[in-house]
Chain A
Amino acid sequence: MEIKRVVRTDVIFFLGYLFLAHLALPLTEHKSDLFLINSWDLYSFNVRATVRDFTWDSGKTYLLRDYRTEALKFELDLLHLLKFTSKSKTLESFPDHLIESVKEFCKCDKIVYVTLKGSQYDHYILKRNLETIGQDDL
């Protein structure tokens, strides 16, 4: 009897959470977050036609594509840079300290945030030179 009650409460909690976080909020507020705590879109099949990265030598090399190993040794926070670029946030929301860290890493005054036409697979894995369709100086 006790076990049944625990399980019943548990199931109600679980289904309520699923309803709120993954049905009600995304549908009504067009958000994928539950009170800014959980974001699950990175775990879905996110097929996009564009990819974003940082460059400082007119697109010859890219930070996230070509300098990952070196940047990690430099303690550059690649994970957050990658999340910002893959979630297509606005430039204003970019933390200044991350931009400063990139500048320090490349020893340059100006870095460019580029939007490339193609998929993440083409960019990160196949390392193809994709067409630049947008760029912003940082």
Chain B
Amino acid sequence: MNQIFLKIYYSLLFFYSFKAVDRIINLDVIQSQFSKFSEMHSLIPSRSAYFDTLILCCLAFVFINIFKSHKLLRCGAAFGINYLYYAWFSAFGSTVNMMLIWLISSIVFIFFDEEEAISSEKNKGIIALLQTITLSHYFIAGLWKLRSLMEDFSVTFFKAGVLENYAYSVAEGKVGLRLVTTFLIEDAKFLLYLGMGVVLFFQLSTLYPVLTRKHLKVFGALCLVFHTTVLIFTGIPFYDMALASIFFLYVVEKMKEIESGNKLVGL
């Protein structure tokens, strides 16, 4: 089961890295993006960050799927994805929070014991850590909303905050449904306020599974519903987080259940 688990993870990491380097098609764009690279962080300006990531993650994906997983391959994949992130930061000066779980998980999975079961003592700690980090993304986002509300705890501020938040999201979104946006703004502004209330409640409630270790699968499914709704309403896909949530919360828990079921029937 743990072999299948690693295969799924490295397949996801490969497809994720492929998505991250999709701009590789336009080499001129990459060249211009890295023109600022050396000036900012004394790193050699290069397209290599993109190529390295793709090659290393591809190697890990192919080898781990065909042969047995090896720590060296996992190290390579972790280096690739972290190097890409650093290159990104150097080139743009800003970071993407949602990538964080993939960076950390790629490092943590170097220490995953493939000889042991997923629910073994060592692996259980690794999985619990990754689940906590995944859920903490949502909780911290909620915490920051709450923190800004503390500055001016009034209905007027909340409404203004919701509209500002929505405006930024629409500006950032790429595939937003114009019909939905127009409907919300012109006819159903109250849905925006209500929606933000639900979002705030959901984000803060993610502390519950962290502290109790219960209902992780339910929260995995809820995260997917949350991201799908955000995609429809604002056009921001949050692929990274949606994939991480469904994998680390839902799939992992399901695999643990199957594993314990196999043990019971003596497989």
* A interface list, Cβ under 8 A from B: 2-3, 6-7, 9-11, 13-14, 17-18, 21-22, 36-48, 64-65, 68, 72, 75, 77, 79-80, 82-84, 86-87, 89, 93, 95-98, 100-101, 119-121, 123-126
Given contacts A6-B124, A38-B100, A119-B160, contact A14 B144 (CB under 8 A): no
Contacts of B97 in A (CB 8 A): 38-40
Q: Do B124 and A2 have beta carbons less than 8 Å apart?
A: yes
How far, in whole Å, are A44 and B170 apart by their CA atoms in the complex? 15
Q: Do A41 and B144 have beta carbons less than 8 Å apart?
A: yes
Ordered by A's residue number, 14 sampled pairs between the chains whose C-beta atoms are within 8 Å are A18-B143, A37-B100, A40-B141, A43-B140, A43-B144, A45-B149, A75-B29, A86-B168, A95-B91, A97-B35, A97-B36, A121-B164, A125-B185, A126-B185
How far, in whole Å, are A11 and B128 apart by their CA atoms in the complex? 10
The count of A-to-B residue pairs whose CB atoms sit within 8 angstroms is: 139
* B interface list, Cβ under 8 A from A: 23, 26, 29, 32-33, 35-36, 89, 91-95, 97, 100, 121, 124-125, 128-129, 132, 136, 140-141, 143-145, 147-149, 157-158, 160-168, 170-172, 174, 181, 185, 210-211, 213
Given contacts A10-B132, A46-B148, A97-B32, contact A64 B210 (CB under 8 A): no
Given contacts A38-B100, A119-B163, contact A64 B171 (CB under 8 A): yes
Closest B residue by C-beta to A46: B164
Among A11, A22, A77, A125, the most chain B Cβ lie within 10 Å of the Cβ of A125
Q: Do B210 and A45 have beta carbons less than 8 Å apart?
A: no
How far, in whole Å, are A112 and B132 apart by their CA atoms in the complex? 44
Closest B residue by C-beta to A45: B161
Closest A residue by C-beta to B35: A97
Other contacts beyond A38-B100, A83-B94, A125-B185: 20, CB < 8 A = A2-B124, A9-B125, A11-B211, A38-B95, A38-B97, A38-B140, A40-B140, A43-B144, A44-B148, A45-B157, A45-B165, A46-B164, A47-B164, A64-B171, A75-B23, A75-B26, A80-B94, A97-B91, A120-B167, A125-B163
Closest A residue by C-beta to B207: A14
Given contacts A38-B100, A43-B144, contact A123 B157 (CB under 8 A): no
Contacts of B172 in A (CB 8 A): 79, 82
| In-complex Cβ contact of B95 among A3, A39, A41, A82 (8 A) | A39
| In-complex Cβ contact of B167 among A13, A14, A75, A123 (8 A) | A123
What is the distance, in angstroms, from A18's C-beta to the closest C-beta of chain B?
7
Contacts of B165 in A (CB 8 A): 45-46
Q: Do A18 and B140 have beta carbons less than 8 Å apart?
A: yes
How far, in whole Å, are A98 and B25 apart by their CA atoms in the complex? 19
How far, in whole Å, are A86 and B145 apart by their CA atoms in the complex? 17
Contacts of A39 in B (CB 8 A): 94-95, 97
Contacts of B140 in A (CB 8 A): 18, 21-22, 38, 40, 43
Contacts of B158 in A (CB 8 A): 45
